Structure 1
């Protein structure tokens, strides 16, 4: 079992582990910025009307509240694991360590990397497709032109990430500024020019029935949680974060609270200007909102800012996920070619190019509506529920004296947050619907088959001699 103390202090120059090859140069501010630009992509600007339509009434704000609550509860799990094991790859390492590196941990970590090779490019593609759809507000685009734009965006992202982590941190801060500027403009503009009194808007959302909670709210929350995903991006960059025991948990909680406040204010602001009955029909809700307040020229400027935010999110997404296959390969549990670092710039360039290339291909093949729910359904069982159960296992082994593990961050009221996280993720998984549940299970099943084939060829567990 890996000792967490050594994991969190892997800055010794004599250390020859893969983690020693990744310099710890990202500060708390930079890590938080990369988290937040990952979370705020094109998602909230295209999902807002879908959430209103799914709820079918003014109570849609509760779906955004539930998304924030789910993220906060789950962040306690990520915080304990991220602070204890600050390594590149995030969940890959958490699952491997929690379930045992020699047996079941090999399967769980393999399944996570297997899913990452599929769902990470899908996440990248979803943002790029949303980018091209919003771009059509500025210049009408037909289908092939939208695909050309989405594919081009992915290629530019790859080019920007093909550099040292130092400059990436600085680029991330600039993009973070664009995120705050865009959301700030929407919030201030709507609240200071409300056509519908803000108090009336909030009051109309104040009650939620049991039937709504059981049905529409669950389905709508699938979409809002998609907009919060990314609060754990800092864990994927764990091997490059300064003072990880402090900065990893802090960056996640700051990101979630900050983004939740911005999302809630943005929603209230928008529907105080554009009635929810009209907003649910808008394909470009932010552009419609700004045009209502300031006219078409301002709406075009707002659309440009939305595209900058979407672009910034794709930047953070590919940055974080490119470290996952690298970590697995450096650990000897994935194709060795993914462990290669650029000879002069010290970043996992093979992993970056492969995931980016798949994202480019997927952006040409799929539509936005086809991937948002599938992305979430694919990840819940192995990643979110899997590592929550894994934390319970680690805590139990530590109490039994079977593992030398320290947890620099300890969640309050343990194990209640972990049990809540498991229950809420199970509810969200069911809310994705039968089709997407089956697709998620199918990906996992194919991953198990691939793992067993690999184990037979390499004569490893469960076929070791």
Structure 2
């Protein structure tokens, strides 16, 4: 049974926002402040990151409009480059995606456990127990159908965005806020290095929207709705990010940002008192639930595309006719999350690995815009979204992501085996592809 379009423009807009806004914005500004060293570099990194993300969003909007298909992130590589390259990149991204979902889910459990569990269960066992139960509940919701999952995502996303707005506007209402100190401080090293290292965490916080092209087969009137949904969604994200970073800075100052990773909870405690911490803990958990849910919804679509090309077994392609759910593919992804939960260390440990894979995969996917334009030359494109400032927009995005990749390599100097591990993951994916193709070509 093939996938039928069921999602509206509003559904996809909510998915875009949820793919981007996870737990990052509630913790990564601290890392950005540490690397930036002064307020000018700090805000400059967030503004630049937003502009680059907008360039990326516009680039993937045209990619999605020119090549609307289920599992688009895989299909774009396969069509534009080579199936082996497509599998190698997506193999790593799916693994890193499951790892980041597991790590973020653990953080969410740490925030909500003080409210849900007794003191004697607020330990690593209690954290993992809450995490597993959260993943399984969302798995059950997704199993009931893609439309119900999308509606759940819409509610979670609206609630999450609303809570960010509340935190941002509350700073203008309170007259008892402390005066932020140390608004500027010195940057260690040169500005270029500080700016580049700041962008690692900034781009992690902005990333995710490229995965929306996986829903090309699910969207009603995909050629029109994909670019509009991406543009609106990323515009909302940029606005919310700049607003909440200003709120952090106004309440905590740059030095406070550097010293505190639980930024939203600390800020809410200052503004609202003890009750603010509990409210913010619930906000953190809702953010995690939305992030985990949208990834359970999105990632199996890549398996579908790989099965269509015969790289994965056909069982990954099976779709329930009534619910439009890839029951086996989704179950496989959830099992991967649960397995990783037993091995993952922390969110911070995973950040550099996930971003290394992300910056390479997403920037190379963006290169496909040049190939797609060449391959679709001569076709009727009056109903297809096209970038106005081409090729400047995609080039800004690609070169900026490569700049961040170089800075991640610089950060790997503390662990020289980290870069080798990352490159080995790509090599393993390439080996699995040719092993799979070789088996298909053997005579029965």
TM-score by length of 1: 0.85
Pairing of 1:133-152 with structure 2 (within 5 A): 133-135=110-112, 138=115, 141-152=122-133
Aligned match for 2:391, one of 415, 422, 447: 415
Q: Given the alignment, which residue of 180, 184, 194 partners 2:165?
A: 184
Map 1:222-371; keep pairs closer than 5 Å. 222-366=200-344, 367-371=346-350
Going from structure 1 to structure 2, the CA distance change for 1:142 and 1:54 (only over 3 Å counts) comes to farther
In the other structure, the counterpart of 1:431 is 407
Question: Does the 8 Å CA contact 2:142/2:148 hold for their aligned counterparts?
Answer: no
Give, in whole Å, the separation in 1 of the partners of 2:316 and 2:431.
21
SS of 1:291's equivalent?
Answer: helix
Distance in 2 separating the partners of 1:405 and 1:324: 28
2:208 aligns to what SS in structure 1?
coil
Matched, 1:57 2:21: no
Residues 1:344 and 1:191: Cα distance change in structure 2 (over 3 Å): same
Gap change, CA 1:94 and 1:210, over 3 Å in 2: farther
Contact 1:76–1:411, Cα closer than 8 Å, also in 2: yes
Mapped contact 2:311–2:437 kept (Cα < 8 A): no
Aligned counterpart in structure 1 of residue 150 of structure 2, from 141, 162, 169: 169
Hey, what's the Cα distance between the residues in 2 that align with 1:39 and 1:365?
25
Moved more, 448-457 or 286-295: 448-457
Match status 1:452 vs 2:428: no
Residue equivalent to 1:8 = none
Q: Distance in 1 between matches of 2:225 and 2:158?
A: 20
- Find out whether 1:42 has 2:18 as its counterpart: no
- Mapped to 2, the partners of 1:30 and 1:330 lie a distance apart of 25
Q: Which 10-residue stretch deviates more, 239-248 or 42-51?
A: 42-51
CA contact (8 A) 1:67 1:221 kept: yes
Q: CA separation in 2, counterparts of 1:189 and 1:439? A: 45
1:211 offset after TM fit, Å?
A: 5.9
Residues 165 and 208 from structure 1, CA distance in 2 versus in 1: closer, same or farther, beyond 3 angstroms?
farther
Distance 1:219 1:439, change over 3 A: farther
Residue 247 of structure 1 deviates from its aligned partner by 1.1
User: What is the alpha-carbon distance in structure 2 between the residues aligned to residue 93 and residue 238 of structure 1?
Assistant: 10
User: Structure 2: where are the runs of 5+ without partners?
Assistant: 413-417
Please give the alpha-carbon distance, in whole angstroms, between the structure 2 residues aligned to 1:418 and 1:279. 32
Query: Contact 1:95–1:108 at 8 Å: present in 2 too?
Result: yes
Q: Partners of 2:364 and 2:186 in 1: how far apart? A: 31
How far apart, CA to CA, are the structure 2 residues paired with 1:236 and 1:124?
17
SS at 1:433's partner residue? Answer: helix
Change (3 A) 1:437 1:213: farther
Q: Does 1:119 align with 2:96?
A: yes
Q: How does 1:56-135 map to 2 (within 5 A)?
A: 56-59=37-40, 60-99=42-81, 105-135=82-112
Following superposition of structure 1 onto structure 2, how do residues 28-39 of structure 1 map, counting pairs within 5 Å? 28-39=9-20
Change (3 A) 1:272 1:36: same
The equivalent of 1:378 in structure 2 is: 357
CA contact (8 A) 1:86 1:238 kept: yes
Quick one: distance in 1 between partners of 2:52 and 2:424?
Answer: 25
TM-score, normalization by structure 2: 0.89
Cα RMSD for the two superposed structures: 2.6
Cα distance in 2 between the residues matched to 1:29 and 1:155: 26
The answer on whether the counterparts of 2:66 and 2:372 sit within 8 Å (CA) in structure 1 is no
Aligned-pair CA distance for 1:299: 2.0
CA deviations 1:74-96 (Å, max 9, x no partner) are: 22221111011211112111111
Give the gaps of 5 or more residues in structure 1: 1-17, 100-104
